[in-house]
Amino acid sequence: MFGSLLYLLAASAAFTGRGIFAPISTDSPAGIAGGEIACGAPPVSSFFVGLNPPFPTNTWWAPYAAPPGNATAAGPFPYESALYNNGVVFGISVNRQFDGTSIKQPTQTDWRASFAEHSGNFANHKATGFDTQTVTVQYFQGGATMTAYLVPGSPYMTFQYAGATPLLTSMNGAIQSFNGQTLAVGASVSATGTGFTVVDSSGSTYLIYALSSITLKATAVSAASGTIQASGAFSGVLRVVKLASASHKALLDQYYQVYPTAVTLDYSFTDTTGTLIFDWTTVGAGSNLLMLTYPHHRIKLQNPNFPATTALGYLTTKGWMYPAIGNQWNMLYDLTSIKWDPPRALDSSCSAAVLQGLEYEVGQLVPSQAPVPGDFYYWGGTLAAQARLALIADNLGRSDLVTPVINYLEASFAYWFESSSSTLPAYETTWGGVIDKAGATNVNVDFGNGYYNDHHFHYGYFLSVAAVIAKFDGNWLNQHKDYINWFARDIINPSPQDPYFPITRCRDWFAGHSWASGIANGAGSRDQESSGEAINGYYGALLWASVALSQDYVNYANLLLTTEQHGAQVYWHLYPQEDPAGRDNPYPEAAVRALTTMGNVEDWQSGAWLFWGAEKSEIAAIQILPVTPVNEVLYDTQWVENVWSYTMPELVDPTIGDEWKCVIIDAYSNANPQVAAEWSANITDWGTGQTFTNELFFIGTRPNPSGTPICGSLPQNPYGNFKIQLASNGNYVAASSVNTNLVASATSSSAAATFNSAYVPNSGTLMLVSTSQYVTADISGDYALAAIRGTASTWERFTIRQKVGASSGVYSIKATSNGLYVTVGSDGSLINNGANEAASAGFKFVSA
């Protein structure tokens, strides 16, 4: 008695939660600013007949439901499949290719499963049920049915017939032999029993298992096709499986009798871990369920029952699928404890520079100039970067700098609540979700948001911004919590009880990561090309849950975050160091792993490419950004060192944008913060999704085992009022309201112009004091610098540094506009056309 009580206490301390969580809320989003709207591509009505939305949009089987309803689905792996008018087609690609950029296994259709009575009417198939991973599809004709249990990870395709005559049609060549008997074209052969073997003319072998005895007749219809048809109506189960190697038959023979029909997703939590649980519903003894694992499963599975990898295996674009026995998988993950702040204080060597940048960047945020949203994606990325400034200010004890950021964020966020706004969120009624209203019937708006593309990317930013506001403004939270929850429910609803949103829209629980693709283009192939923003989707949800929801949703968001990071590390990060023969190496080919990072992971191919860019630094950066403290785990040392050397030719190339370099430098700081700090001083443009402050704050809060100060002495422009003197001949730079060009023509200090040199992070501006006009440098590098701008933007920024090799106090000047150095022409004009530091003229800055 006493003992079991202790056990119960221990158990309740260990398990803070177990089971499917309740809905975040069940209230209707109809009151959202854009009201309700219908997507231009609603689900195929015959497919969901008898079922009501919400429906999954980004799942592997979205092509079954998205019009026209017959595109190739991303599974159930190891198979890919499609629902045709006349049956379920499926196959396993054996054509693995590497073209130097991508690993590809083009979809292959081996067989079609149907029954003889089916009319071929497209409307005569429907979904009868689905869960977080599986879907059950029924083909029907009168009283005859074939029910397909489409379960990712099952080596067998499972078809249950009721009063129907099973019919399998070969789609990849003629039938060459059936149960060992060779068939000439036109010939037939019959066999009765529970196990059959068929070989087609492409050389592929399939096994057909019947759970009760059946008579099948194979007919070599033509040189291109063949059929296997039962002798009559059958009520029972067939399991069809590709035999990739003769040595696999023993295991397949042993376990075919137990089949999965559905799966329950479950999870349990301790303070530091989350266990993801797959619990398959089976017919037959669950302990004898034979399934296939991906590498990420094998890495995390607890107490697995793995047969030898030689017993069964299929090579997919995610590496080898190998067998596991049993109907419950428990995958254990270490959850992060990082939320708003990094897990250590800012290195004191970086404090002054970070604070100076913070004051500057917060000073730029004028609430009356807060952006009016013009889209979801760029608005979110930009505002989330500004929101980090409030968190950094708070971390550094500068509450005076928090409030201005919050005011700015609130001013911009307010547009999402107004029905008069030009960009509006609306509730989409045919699938069930919040979309960009303007994109409801136009897939080209906002990266296809209206067709359910990229919601976790977009709403992760929304939730980050909202969470930061809510952290510092409880009234705002109270006022807008239900509204913001509509965005949270759109991407992390955990429950089938939410009447408005599908479960965790983007996550493919079996694949171990999310898909960005929604239902556009028939939901064709699935892809995700920004693992960084996918992770951020769940990070935004974690922050929101931390401030607005209960611990259950904090745990759930943390599990999503942690698993997405792990998926990125297994399938996006490439490690040339990995053992080519390693069981859990998803890319056995060394040449693939030499590419260091995947750009896009799809269902049938993965490659170092992007839809929008080809540079190495872009491909790597989109897997890194946005930089937040929670990515301490993601930026693992081996990978960031690989990325550092792989992208180095671009990191020193002035034609490659700083906005990509800056995030690579940040990721690298996780391995070497001192070097990253030095390199970060080269950056003068952080793009819209990053700030100077966040860049250096991240670097300054890295693990630092050596204890060496991280920031050292970071170079700065000389700031103050100066006359600028050309070192070579002693002439001073002149400029005036009449002659606005900068020309080194003044032979005396009294004839020289006075410039105010002011701080901008890592660089500065030069203002002609007599006219209050900023000096600008044309991007062409063909014209003299001129003091002609009333306000300073990026073309009015210069990096002024001690010139290498020159005597102390002689500086080079680099223009931010084109990354080129300032030289002096024969007429004395200052022109930003010097290719490198050595080409720069030397200038002295004489205090004025």
Ligand X SMILES: *[C@@H]1O[C@H](CO)[C@@H](O)[C@H](O)[C@H]1NC(C)=O
Backbone φ, ψ for residue 164 (5° rounding): -130, 150
Strands (E), 156-302: 156-164, 166-170, 175-178, 181-182, 188-200, 205-219, 227-230, 234-243, 259-269, 273-283, 290-293
Select 457 or 679, whichever has its Cβ closest to ligand X: 679
Of the residues 679, 698, 732, 798, which one makes contact with ligand X according to CB under 6 A:
679
Q: Is 664 helix (H, G, I), strand (E, B) or coil?
A: helix
Closest CB to ligand X among residues 84, 111: 84
Give the nearest distance from C-beta 681 to ligand X in angstroms. 6
- Give dist(CA 197, CA 240) in Å, integer: 10
Closest distance between ligand X and the C-beta of residue 226, in Å?
A: 19
Shortest Cβ distance from residue 459 to ligand X (Å)? Answer: 32
Q: Provide the minimum distance between the beta carbon of 762 and ligand X in the complex, in angstroms, as a whole number.
A: 11
Which residue, 546 or 674, is less far from ligand X as judged by CB?
674
Please identify, using beta-carbon distances, which residue of 679 and 732 lies nearer to ligand X. 679
CB of residue 216 to ligand X, shortest distance in Å:
26
Residue 18, H or E segment: strand 17-18
> Which CB sits closer to ligand X, 224 or 652?
652
DSSP state, residue 597 = B
Work out how close the CB of 98 gets to ligand X at its nearest, in angstroms, rounded to a whole number.
28
CA distances, 142 to each of 122, 125, 129, 167, 237 (Å): 14, 12, 20, 17, 19
For residue 660, state whether it binds ligand X (rule: CB under 6 A): no
CB atoms within 10 A of CB 819: 21
C-beta of 652 vs 839, nearer to ligand X: 652
Q: Which of 596, 631, 674, 682 binds ligand X (CB under 6 A)?
A: 682
CA dihedral (818, 821, 824, 825) positive or negative: negative
Select the residue interacting with ligand X from 658, 678, 695, 796 (CB under 6 A). 678
Strand bridging mode 425-428 / 36-37: parallel
Interhelix angle 673-680/658-669, rounded to 10 degrees, is 160
Helices (H) and strands (E) in the chain, counts: 17, 43
Q: Nearer Cβ to ligand X, position 83 or 574?
A: 83
Strands (E), 19-152: 36-37, 80-84, 87-91, 97-98, 102-104, 111-115, 125-130, 135-141, 144-150
Dist CA 510 CA 759 (whole Å)? 51
Closer to ligand X by Cβ: residue 223 or 648: 648
Q: Could you tell me the maximum CA-CA distance found in the chain, to the nearest angstrom?
A: 108
Min CB(494)–ligand X separation in Å: 34
Residues between 628 and 657 that touch ligand X (CB under 6 A): 652
What's the CA dihedral at 316, 320, 323, 328 to 10 degrees?
A: -80
Q: Is 486 in the site for ligand X (CB under 6 A)?
A: no
- Residue (341 or 685) nearer to ligand X, CB: 685
Instruction: Give Cα 393 distance to the centre of its chain.
Output: 28
688 binds ligand X (CB under 6 A): no
C-alpha pair distances (Å), 332 with each of 272, 625, 631, 789, 836: 11, 26, 19, 59, 52
Span interacting with ligand X, options 101-109, 678-686, 788-796, 801-809, rule CB under 6 A = 678-686
Residue 652 beta carbon to ligand X: minimum distance, rounded to whole angstroms: 4
Q: Which of residues 66-125 bind ligand X (CB under 6 A)?
A: 68, 70, 84
Select 43 or 373, whichever has its Cβ closest to ligand X. 43
Tokens of 439: 């994109």
**Which one, 68 or 203, has the nearer CB to ligand X?**
68
**Of 377-385, 450-458, 675-683, 763-771: span binding ligand X (CB under 6 A):** 675-683
Size of the site for ligand X (CB under 6 A): 7
- Choose the binding region for ligand X from 107-115, 486-494, 677-685, 777-785 (rule: CB under 6 A): 677-685
> Which residues in this chain contact ligand X in the complex, by CB under 6 A?
68, 70, 84, 652, 678-679, 682
